[in-house]
Amino acid sequence: MKLVRYGTAGAEWPGLLDDQGRVRDLSGHVDDLSGAALTAAGLARLAALDPATLPLVPGQPQQDLRLGACVAGVGKFIGVGLNYADHAAESGMDVPSEPVLFTKWTSCIAGPDDDVHLPAGSTATDWEVELGIVIGDGGRDIPEDRALDHVAGYCVINDISERDWQIRRGGSWDKGKGFDGFGPVGPWLVTRDEIADPQALRLWLEVDGTMRQDGTTATMVFGVAHLVAYCSRFATLMPGDLITTGTPPGVGMGQKPPVYLRGGQVMRLGIDGLGTQTQRVVG
């Protein structure tokens, strides 16, 4: 299934995509795409529905029908840093021996095509296309060989980062990662059964039509199963929690000289099978 949340910001409704790419309303069956709706049992109930029997939502998604973040009620938004060796190299940092974890504040979550507003005084706002993991059944100390059983599905995430605040303004990554709008999520949550191998997905990002990132999840230092198991050592993972898994090379910080976002530019990014995002940068 491809699950979506549609409507005006802050008042989205749950839905799913039918075979024609149209949105069908799920509000008669779930309040939102959060909590119990994302567990294995909850997703099985949704999968048993016939999309043709669900109300058709007017409009074309990502054209005249706005999509919000594809998951609601996110309790934890966990980031993984330097998880591609070639990205670590372009950042001038060592490849980590264990996953580098940080948090993105949940107030940064936005729809996949919402405008990105540069923070006041920003000089180094950067892009990062990433594979997002949505947790289904929760757990603590999850064994790696069972970790994928705890995944509801996957989505596209742009881990937007203000590098001055992330690196040079006191040493806390969270400050540069959590500005409002710095976490576009979606367009849809693609359930785990539709992705044969999360370590074989192309991901890419362009700015104003110029390709900046073009990589594959095959080159992750730590794969999806390892990350889910590792994160569960430090906190109980809950349905709807997000883990964003790191970015391939090509970020603005890695250009020589560095190139950062400016007002008026447009980012477009995507992952095989998971859809695309388009964001206009507002200065």
Question: 62 in a domain, yes or no?
Answer: no
Question: 252 in a domain, yes or no?
Answer: yes
- CB 266 within 8 Å of CB 280: yes
Question: 163 in a domain, yes or no?
Answer: yes
Cis-peptide into 55, omega within 30 deg: no
Question: 202 in a domain, yes or no?
Answer: yes
Domain count, the chain: 1
The string of pLDDT tens digits covering residues 161-207 is 999 998 888 777 899 999 999 999 999 999 999 999 999 999 999 99
In one-letter notation, the amino acid at residue 201 is L
Question: 14 in a domain, yes or no?
Answer: no
SS3 16: strand
Residue 73 is given by DSSP the state S
Q: What is the pLDDT of residue 86?
A: 78
The string of pLDDT tens digits covering residues 52-82 is 999 999 999 999 999 999 999 999 999 999 9
Q: What is the pLDDT of residue 233?
A: 98
Q: Please name every residue paired with 133 in a beta bridge, in sequence order, or none if there are none.
A: 154, 243
CATH number at residue 207: 3.90.850.10
The mean pLDDT of 209-229, rounded to a whole number, is: 97
The string of pLDDT tens digits covering residues 14-36 is 999 999 999 999 999 999 999 99
Question: 97 in a domain, yes or no?
Answer: yes
- Domain range for residue 118? 71-282
- The residue ranges of DSSP E strands in 208-271, in sequence order, are 210-216, 242-244, 266-271
Question: 54 in a domain, yes or no?
Answer: no
Question: 272 in a domain, yes or no?
Answer: yes
Query: Does 40 or 94 have the greater pLDDT score?
Result: 40
In angstroms, rounded to a whole number, what is the distance separating the alpha carbons of residues 165 and 167?
Answer: 6
Residue 45, both tokens: 């109930």
The mean pLDDT of 209-214, rounded to a whole number, is: 98
In angstroms, rounded to a whole number, what is the distance separating the alpha carbons of residues 98 and 168?
Answer: 23
pTM: 0.97
